[in-house]
Structure 1
Amino acid sequence: MRLHCCQSAYEFEIVKQLRQRTPLGWLESLGLLTPLSILPHGIYLSGHPAVSVQGTEDWTA
């Protein structure tokens, strides 16, 4: 599956506010992240200096 997400700090913060999870965390909770998932432009992940979640939440399995 190809899904555009995590393309802006605004998107990251809105999803975090509405879903209490990072965008990747929310997708994972819905079962939408698999080894076949492609997320072009996904640059705003936890740890990015422009987002409120600092750390490796989106980087750990």
Structure 2
Amino acid sequence: MNTPNPENKLIEGEDFYYTPEGYKCFTEKYHLKRGYCCKSGCRHCPYGFDKKANTIKKK
């Protein structure tokens, strides 16, 4: 049986927020907690991914 792990629950305002359009937007803190870049061009990407150039900028 696959039971939900309470430690993996997302916290609104910390891991994500809702945009005025109603979309869920993940924060930089969430991306760092996840541990990798999904290469989707996220608004708060801490890994420096540039969707137009399809590259990750080294910081």
TM-score with structure 2 length normalisation? 0.24
- Answer with 1 or 2: which has the greater Rg: 2
TM-score with structure 1 length normalisation? 0.24
Considering fraction of residues, name the structure with more strand.
Answer: 2
Which has the higher relative contact order, 1 or 2, with Cα contacts under 8 A spaced 6 or more apart?
1
